[in-house]
């Protein structure tokens, strides 16, 4: 059995800001069926410590970046969870990365270097007699761990995998922090962890890990281009033989639709319209559950929206982010009876929207994998997506070929512009009027493989390839 320590800064159901948490929460269970024993190391945020408690201490340090720290063992369902209890770093009222005013914690570099150090130490020394074969690091928050593992002299026994969930976040720190972070000064160069005279936690992971992965095959290709690589494309091109794209999945039991066939959606659509006071119009009800940012293409949706509304379509929006975009959609909802906007996030409401909507809009400019379109597919809520990243890999376009083959599950648009999105929305309305075609697409979507089976097998094979001999 392959033993893996997963090192992550968030994990459902304990702490979540994005898709990383869903993946970290789902992987241990999905991999168990593949003969992989995965345990998860998570910072001891207040919610995490409330769940894990301080009952079983398995490691401790008197001084971990300015204070004592202990690792406690707990359970996350049937899986083992290790919580790094370092109150001086993680016992805070805000979120995992931002304070209650929405600002980065000034010591984020030390906070997540501590997570990386703890991970490397547990791998090097074992924990409760359990010695991992693989250290699986997620995003910049665990980026230093492969380098720390090497400095501990354990990288010849324990292999490391670095997964990029979103390369836009790189964990940059000034060079003056090299000593503070316990990094080898000799490695502060172009081929090491230096990034334009700064320290990059993510680059450290990309340089020193044995293998690299990201969350879709298309995003893996995109990352090696200047447009998408965020300044790290050269590093990734050099390591392309070590880079693999493995699609995320979703927990199919957790996202079970409240109906078994397309005909069951009608009452949920009616309930959604009633909840938001939308009139009975002839076009599709489109839903959007998203951060309201330009990365997510929300600005181009604002420009393209008349193409949907003028043809009898409607929009129900749930999200938060850019204040100007929040206000723009609130103003739109006040002025137009076909638009409803809720600023914020509500998991139960998101589920009702996905169940009741006819289509789900994901107009992202870039999207490493995306989970929203997978939730849509599961519910027969047809995705309208930009042709990028995991959106390109998971949605079969209603092109003439896709429709002729009876395989289409949604709509893709390219280029990633308001005009191209408007054309896709017009096509969506036309398809909605063709009830036979629409029903076929719903059936295709609901039958699409969106779970973890195939991806878990791919991860297991990658781990097996990485295990050190002996």
What are the residue boundaries of the structural domains of the chain, listed by start? Answer: 2-249+453-466, 262-447
Looking at the structure, give the CATH architecture of the domain made up of residues 262-447: 3-Layer(aba) Sandwich (3.40)
pLDDT tens digits, 198-231: 999 999 999 999 999 999 999 999 999 999 999 9
Average pLDDT over residues 396-405: 97
Average pLDDT over residues 235-240: 98
DSSP 140: G
Protein fold of 2-249+453-466 = Rossmann fold (3.40.50)
**Confidence tier at 54 by pLDDT (50, 70, 90):** confident
**Confidence tier at 55 by pLDDT (50, 70, 90):** confident
**Confidence tier at 77 by pLDDT (50, 70, 90):** confident
| The pLDDT of residue 457 | 96
262-447 shares the fold of 2-249+453-466: yes
| The pLDDT of residue 53 | 84
Q: Which two tokens stand for residue 157?
A: 């026994």
| The pLDDT of residue 425 | 98
pTM: 0.93
- Across the chain, which distance is largest between two alpha carbons, in Å? 69
Average pLDDT over residues 31-54: 95
Computed over every residue of the chain, the mean pLDDT equals 96
CA angle at 80 for the pair 34 and 157, rounded to the nearest 5°: 70
pLDDT tens digits, 113-152: 999 999 999 999 999 999 999 999 999 999 999 999 999 9
Beta strand extents in 65-187 (DSSP E only) = 69-76, 79-85, 134-138, 159-164, 172-174
Average pLDDT over residues 371-383: 97
Say yes or no to pLDDT of 236 above 90.
Answer: yes
Q: Please enumerate in sequence order all residues whose Cβ is within 8 A of that of 268, keeping only pairs 6 or more positions apart, or say none.
A: 258, 259, 352, 355, 356
| The pLDDT of residue 469 | 87
Average pLDDT over residues 422-432: 98
| The pLDDT of residue 101 | 86
Residue 16 annotated as part of some ligand binding site = yes
Burial class (CB in 10 A: 0-12, 13-18, 19+), 415: exposed
Bridge partner list, 135: 5, 160
Average pLDDT over residues 230-258: 95
Burial class (CB in 10 A: 0-12, 13-18, 19+), 280: exposed
**Confidence tier at 274 by pLDDT (50, 70, 90):** very high
Average pLDDT over residues 60-66: 96
With a pLDDT cut of 70, the percent of the chain lying above it is: 100
pLDDT tens digits, 160-174: 999 999 999 999 999
């Amino acid at each position: 059995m392959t033993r893996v320590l997963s090192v992550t800064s968030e994990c459902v159901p304990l702490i979540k800001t994005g898709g990383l948490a869903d993946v970290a929460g789902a992987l241990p269970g999905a991999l168990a069926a593949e003969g992989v024993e995965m345990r998860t190391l998570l910072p001891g945020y207040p919610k995490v410590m409330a769940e894990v408690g301080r009952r079983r201490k398995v490691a401790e340090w008197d001084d971990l970046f300015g204070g004592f720290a202990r690792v406690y063992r707990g359970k996350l369902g049937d899986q083992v969870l290790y919580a790094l209890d370092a109150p001086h770093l993680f016992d805070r009222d805000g979120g995992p990365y931002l304070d209650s005013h929405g600002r980065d914690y000034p010591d984020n570099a030390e906070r997540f270097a501590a997570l990386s150090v703890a991970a490397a130490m547990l791998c090097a020394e074992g924990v409760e007699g359990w010695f991992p074969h693989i250290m699986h690091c997620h995003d910049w928050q665990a980026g230093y761990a492969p380098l720390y593992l090497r400095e501990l002299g354990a990288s010849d026994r324990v292999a490391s995998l670095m997964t990029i969930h979103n390369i836009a976040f790189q964990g940059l720190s000034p060079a003056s922090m090299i000593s503070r972070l316990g990094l080898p000064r000799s490695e502060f160069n172009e081929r090491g962890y230096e990034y334009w005279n700064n320290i990059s936690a993510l680059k450290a992971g990309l340089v020193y890990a044995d293998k690299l992965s990201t969350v879709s095959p298309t995003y893996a290709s995109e990352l090696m281009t200047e447009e998408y690589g965020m300044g790290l494309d050269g590093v990734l091109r050099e390591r392309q033989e070590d880079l693999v794209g493995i699609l995320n999945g979703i927990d199919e039991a957790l996202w079970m639709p409240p109906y078994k066939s397309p005909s069951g959606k009608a009452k949920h659509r009616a309930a959604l319209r009633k909840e938001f006071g939308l009139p009975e119009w002839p076009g599709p009800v489109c839903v959007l559950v998203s951060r309201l940012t330009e990365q997510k293409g929300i600005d181009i949706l604002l420009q393209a929206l008349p193409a949907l509304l003028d043809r009898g379509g409607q929009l129900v929006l749930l999200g938060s982010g850019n204040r100007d975009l929040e206000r723009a959609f609130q103003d739109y909802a006040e002025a137009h009876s076909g638009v409803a906007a809720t600023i914020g996030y509500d998991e139960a409401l998101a589920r009702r929207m996905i169940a009741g909507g006819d289509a789900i809009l994901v107009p992202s400019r870039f999207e490493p994998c995306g989970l929203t379109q997978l939730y849509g597919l599961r519910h027969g809520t047809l995705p309208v997506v930009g042709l990028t990243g995991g959106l390109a890999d998971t949605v079969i376009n209603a092109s003439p070929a896709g429709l002729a083959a009876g395989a289409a599950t949604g709509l893709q648009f390219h280029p990633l512009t308001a005009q191209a999105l408007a054309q896709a929305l017009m096509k969506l309305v036309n398809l909605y009027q063709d009830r036979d075609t629409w029903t076929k697409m719903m059936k295709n979507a609901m039958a699409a493989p969106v779970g973890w089976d195939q991806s878990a097998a791919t991860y297991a094979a990658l781990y097996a390839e990485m295990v050190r001999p002996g």
